Every structure is written in C-alpha cells, then in structure tokens.
Amino acid sequence: MRVSKLFTRTSKTAPADEVAKNAQLLIRAGYVHKEMAGVYAYLPLGLRVVEKIKQIVREEMDAIDSNELIMTGLQRKDVWEKTGRWSDEVVDIWFKTKLQDETELGLGWSHEEPIVEMLKAHIRSYKDLPVSLYQFQTKLRNELRAKSGIMRGREFVMKDMYSFHGSAEELEAYYQRTIDAYKRVYERLGLSDDTYVTFASGGSFTQFSHEFQTICDAGEDVIYLHREKNIAINEEVIDDAVKELGISRDELEKVKTAEVGNIFNFGSQKTDEMGLKFTSQDGQQSSIYMGSYGIGITRVMGVLVEKFADESGIVWPEAVAPYQVYLATIGDVAEQADALYDELRNKGIEVLYDDRDTRPGEKFADADLLGIPHRVVLSPKLIEQGSFEYKMRTETESNSLTKDELFATLSAA
Ligand code: ATP
Ligand code: MG
C-alpha cells in the first residue's frame, strides 16, 4: 500500500474528550474513528489489525474442531425470557428495539440463549454430539461507563464459541482443550508472559468460571496473583478461592488487569431451562452439557496498544501489525523505491510505502506513530553506497544493510 493512496491521516492530537491512551493513539495514528463514547469505526489500518487478531483466533478454534458461523444481531424476546435474561434488572446492558408492529427485539449483547434455541432444530440424537460453534460478531452493550477506549466498547467485536456435549466429563475435557487453545492464542498475540488463567465468579455447574486476565494498568479488573505458582484469582472471588485452594492471601500480589477472555461451564442448566435435549444411545431423552467461551477481539487490540506503546507511538507485535515494513524515501529515489516495493511484496512481505513528497522527519514520525515493526529508508546517498537503512520499531539506532542482509532480516522476522 502506498501512503499516498492510503485513507489515513495521522495527527498530533486526539479528541479532547478521549481519555484512554489506547484510543488516543489509535485515533492519532488513523486506525479508528470515534463516533461517540464507546463507539469506534475501524478504518482501513485498524481493520487490518482486527482481521489479523481474528485470523489467529480462527486458526486456533478450527484446530479444536469448532465450526465458524454467523448468528443474527436482532434477537427474539421470547428466547431470552426462557432463562429470565430478558429482564433489564437481570441484564443491565441491553439495547432493545421494536419492529413496526411493536414486536420487541433485543440487539445481541451475547448469543448464549439464541444458540441453544437454534440448536433445537439441529440436534436430535447422540450422533449429533459433540458440537462446537463459534463466530466473530459485533456485540452491542449499553455499558454504563465507556472511558477505556476500545477496551470497553458499547459496540465491539467478540469471538464467542459454544460447545455442546452428551456428558459432563466430555464437556470438562473440551473445556480443558479450550484453555490450551486460548493459551496458544495469547502466546501468538505476544501476551502470554502477562496473561493468567484466573479463577472468577459465575460457574453455574462448577464453582468458578475462568477468565484470561492480562496485566495492564489501563484494565478495569483487579486480580490476586502468585507468579511462581501460576495462581490467579479475581478479587470478586478472593475469599472463596483462598479457602478452596488452601493458600494465604498474604502470598498474593494485587495487580490491575484487563479481561481478554472468559470461559464458562454451564453444565446442563441453560439447556435444561430451554428444553434442548438429545436422544441417547439407549433411547432416553437426556441433558446436554454446554460451555461458553469468549475472546474480546477489539479489547485485545486496545490492550496491545496500552502495553507496548512508547513515547513515539504504537508498537505492534509482528503477528498483528497491519504491515511488516514501512518503506520511506528521502529525495528523488522513486524508481529504486518502486522496484524495492515490488520485490518485497513479491516475497510476501506486507509493505507500507511512504511515497509522499514530505520531510523525512515527518515520515519517520509517522512510521513510529503507526507502530510498523520494520523501517527501511532509501536515499540517493544510500543508493550510491549500495545500502539500505534499516531500523526496528523497538530500537533507536538504525543499521546500514546490503540488499541480501535486508531480505534475510525481513524474511526471518
Ligand atoms: P467485563 O467484566 O469486562 O464487562 P464480561 O464479563 O461482560 O466482561 P463476557 O460477556 O464474558 O465479558 O464477554 C467475553 C469477552 O468479551 C470478555 O472477556 C472481554 O474480553 C470482551 N468484552 C466484554 N465486554 C466488552 C466491552 N464492553 N468492550 C470490549 N470488549 C468486551
Ligand atoms: Mg460486562
């Protein structure tokens, strides 16, 4: 992509009402546009990051035999009434609307009840189980506070997965496989060092649910952590959990975190309530055991900005950067830069080519603000020497590389 053709304008300032670092930087760098508090449009660069995060999650969910689908954003009231969750007292973040004939509808904040209802038309016998389904969807939630930028949206992208099993043991085994798949996701996103599987409230079958909490000052959660023993407990359940695990609270460190994922064992509670059953091998109508597993795609993007940004701007991990290389020219070197741009792209390297007629300082500042992992500079003098100036986003010094060295460096990244 040539910067001259890119629909993105960087700026030195963010909107005065934007208090979150992640959104300030993402707006300044042209990744997102703020429509209103908690509601952001994803511009071309932002969309590329979202898609890369989604692709990592997609590969790992596919690897545990889950099937991707897409459910509906408009939801039926009667479906949610079956579990009592249509009530605004029970679920305090509903957006609701009406058809022209006054029929009430919900705007999807979760898809647990709708997927159970849908499966009544698809699951008959033991032969149809187990099944795991997932989607990426824009969830709508009327959150009370939306001051954390894209980390807490009123409109945000979630990956939600649901699994259905003929026995509690089989669900438990799949739940563990999902924990491992989630660990691989956060590893690939560069977050594994700071992400903990955390005991949290709200298992309806088991005593606890599990959250994936990433240490982050801008996060809204507090957990108690034992790094060596790899034990993490959400403060919501600290009293119960220390008793259960037989550890002392004094051993634990209190840290601020962002919940980047959540997994939940519903047992057969929800499916029983909603009347989703299957015919077992011996002909009995039997209960179905359900798990529910979320990852906050756009929240993860915000967390990456919060954790890795420096004073010059965003620093993307290689795996989610919108482009790998920022190619900047100094002076009139269009012919050579065009050729290098083509050659890099032919090698499958994603390049953002700053072909604008602007000052080098401005190009370098944008390369840093945008957080592109590798920067390559071409100038008449460098061309004369047969070399390329190369710098990593995370380093301050640049190196002079030959063309072979440059390609070797970029291919290894
Ligand atoms: P929180 O406690 O932060 O409100 P939650 O318990 O409501 O989260 P879930 O309903 O389990 O979250 O949603 C699954 C995942 O979606 C969460 O782990 C989080 O990463 C993400 N998420 C939840 N709410 C938001 C939001 N308002 N904006 C962005 N991401 C969100
Ligand atoms: Mg919530």
Which ligand lies nearest the alpha carbon of 139? 1
Q: Can you give the pLDDT at residue 8? A: 83
**Substitution site in 137, 259, 265, 293 for ligand 1 pocket (most atoms within 8 Å of beta carbon):** 259
**Substitution site in 158, 161, 185, 305 for ligand 1 pocket (most atoms within 8 Å of beta carbon):** 158
What does the alpha-carbon distance between residue 337 and residue 327 come to, in Å, rounded to a whole number? 8
Q: Is there an atom of ligand 1 within 6 Å of 152 CB? A: yes
- Given a cut of 70, whether residue 205 has pLDDT beyond it is no
Of 231, 40, 233, nearest in space to 146 by CA: 40
Name residue 240's amino acid. D
What does the alpha-carbon distance between residue 13 and residue 104 come to, in Å, rounded to a whole number? 42
Q: Is there an atom of ligand 1 within 6 Å of 210 CB? A: no
What does the alpha-carbon distance between residue 296 and residue 212 come to, in Å, rounded to a whole number? 10
- Given a cut of 70, whether residue 202 has pLDDT beyond it is yes
CA of 146 to the centre of ligand 2 (A): 11
Average pLDDT over residues 26-54: 97
Query: What is residue 44's three-state secondary structure?
Result: helix
User: Hey, which residues does 352 pair with through a beta bridge?
Assistant: 326
CA of 91 to the centre of ligand 2 (A): 10
- Given a cut of 70, whether residue 5 has pLDDT beyond it is yes
The model's pTM: 0.97
The DSSP code for 313 is B
CA of 343 to the centre of ligand 1 (A): 42
Q: Is there an atom of ligand 1 within 6 Å of 198 CB? A: no
Burial of 275 (0-12, 13-18, 19+ CB in 10 A): exposed
Q: Which atom of ligand 1 is nearest to the CA of 260?
A: 20
Domains and CATH numbers, the chain: 3-308 (3.30.930.10), 325-412 (3.40.50.800)
Name residue 200's amino acid. A
Q: Which two tokens stand for residue 206?
A: 């088991």
pLDDT digits (tens, 9 = 90+) for 125-163: 999 999 999 999 999 999 999 999 999 999 999 999 999
CA of 152 to the centre of ligand 2 (A): 9
CA of 316 to the centre of ligand 2 (A): 26
Which ligand lies nearest the alpha carbon of 296? 1
Q: Which atom of ligand 1 is nearest to the CA of 148?
A: 28
Distance of CA 380 to the CA centre of its chain: 42
pLDDT digits (tens, 9 = 90+) for 93-103: 999 999 999 99
Q: What are phi and psi of 145, to 5 degrees?
A: -115, 135
Which ligand lies nearest the alpha carbon of 146? 1
pLDDT digits (tens, 9 = 90+) for 308-358: 999 999 999 999 999 999 999 999 999 999 999 999 999 999 999 999 999
Name the one residue in this structure whose structure tokens are 């606890």: 208
CA of 37 to the centre of ligand 1 (A): 17
